[in-house]
A and B are shown apart, each in its own frame.
Chain A
Amino acid sequence: MGRRRTTFGRIIRTGFVYFIRNAWLAVAAMATMIITLTIILFSLIVNATFSNQVEQITSKIDISVYLKDGVTSAQAKSFVAAIEKLPNVEDVTYLDKSAALRVFITQNANNDKLLAAINETDNPLPATIKIKPRDLNKMNEIRSLVTKPQWQKLQSDPISDSGERRATIDKITHATNILQRAGIIAVGIFALISVLIIFNTIQMAIFNRRDELQIMRLLGASTGYIRAPFVVETIIYGVLSAIISVLIINALFITASSSLQATSFGLLDISYSQLYFQEHYWRLLLMQLTLGILIGAASSVIATQRYLKFKTPKK
Chain B
Amino acid sequence: MILLDRVTKTYNKNLGAALNRISLHVEPKEFVIVVGQSGAGKSTLLKLLTREERPTSGKIIVGGIDYDKLPDKDIPLLRRKIGVVFQDFKLLPNRTVFENVAFALEIVGVSTKEINNTVPRVLEIVNLKDKAKRMPVELSGGERQRVAIARAIVRQPKILIADEPTGNLDPKHAWDVINVLEKINRYGTTVLLTTHNQDIVNKLKRRVITITNGEIASDRASAQYTEKTPIPRERM
Residue B64 is within 8 A (CB to CB) of chain A in the complex: no
A3 within 8 A of B: yes
Asked whether any CB of chain A lies closer than 8 Å to the CB of B199, the reply is no
Q: Are B75 and A212 in contact (CB under 8 A)?
A: no
Residue B52 contacts which of A7, A225, A313 (CB distance < 8 angstroms)? A313
**Provided the pairs A218-B86, A220-B79, A221-B76 are in contact, do residues A10 and B108 lie with their beta carbons within 8 angstroms?**
no
Tell me if A218 and B90 are in contact (CB < 8 A): yes
Beyond A218-B86, A220-B76, whether A6 also contacts B92 by CB under 8 A is no
Number of interface residues, chain A, beta carbon within 8 A: 23
Determine the chain A residues whose CB is within 8 A of the CB of B158 once the complex forms.
Answer: none
A265 touches B (CB below 8 Å): no
Q: Does A135 contact B (CB under 8 A)?
A: no
The reply to whether the CB of B106 lies closer than 8 angstroms to some CB of chain A is yes
**When chains A and B are docked, how far (Å) is the Cα of A216 from the Cα of B94?**
12
Q: How many residues of B contact A (CB 8 A)?
A: 30
- Type the 1/0 row for A299-313, where 1 means its CB is closer than 8 Å to any CB of B: 000000000001011
Contacts of A218 in B (CB 8 A): 50, 52, 79, 84, 86, 90
**A219 close to B (CB within 8 Å):** yes
Per the bound structure, the CA–CA distance linking A6 and B114 in Å amounts to: 12
Q: Which residues of A contact B80 (CB under 8 A)?
A: 220
Q: A21-B94, A310-B75, A313-B52 are in contact. Are A219 and B104 (CB under 8 A)?
A: yes
Nearest CB of A to B9, in Å: 10
CA–CA, A212 to B109, complex, Å? 19
Q: Is A215 located at the chain interface by the 8 A CB criterion?
A: yes
Within 8 A of A (CB), among B31-89: 50-54, 72-73, 75-80, 84, 86
In the bound complex, how far is the Cα of B51 from the Cα of A220, in angstroms?
Answer: 11
Q: Is the CB of B94 within 8 A of A225?
A: no
Contact (Cβ within 8 A) A211 B112: no
Q: Does B15 contact A (CB under 8 A)?
A: no
Given contacts A6-B112, A310-B72, A310-B75, contact A216 B107 (CB under 8 A): yes
Closest CB in chain A relative to B77 CB, distance in Å: 7
Does A3 lie within 8 Å of B109, measured CB to CB? Answer: yes
- The 9 A-B pairs at the shortest CB distance, nearest first, are namely A220-B79, A220-B80, A221-B107, A3-B109, A310-B72, A215-B90, A220-B76, A222-B76, A7-B109
Interface residues of B (CB under 8 A from A): 50-54, 72-73, 75-80, 84, 86, 90-94, 103-104, 106-112, 151
Question: What are 8 pairs between A and B in contact, CB < 8 Å?
Answer: A6-B110, A215-B91, A216-B103, A218-B86, A218-B90, A219-B84, A221-B76, A223-B73
Interface of A with B (CB < 8 Å)?
2-4, 6-7, 10, 21, 209, 211-212, 215-223, 225, 310, 312-313
* Besides the known contacts A215-B91, A218-B79, 9 further A-B residue pairs in the complex with CB atoms under 8 A apart: A3-B109, A218-B86, A219-B79, A219-B104, A220-B76, A220-B77, A220-B80, A225-B107, A310-B51
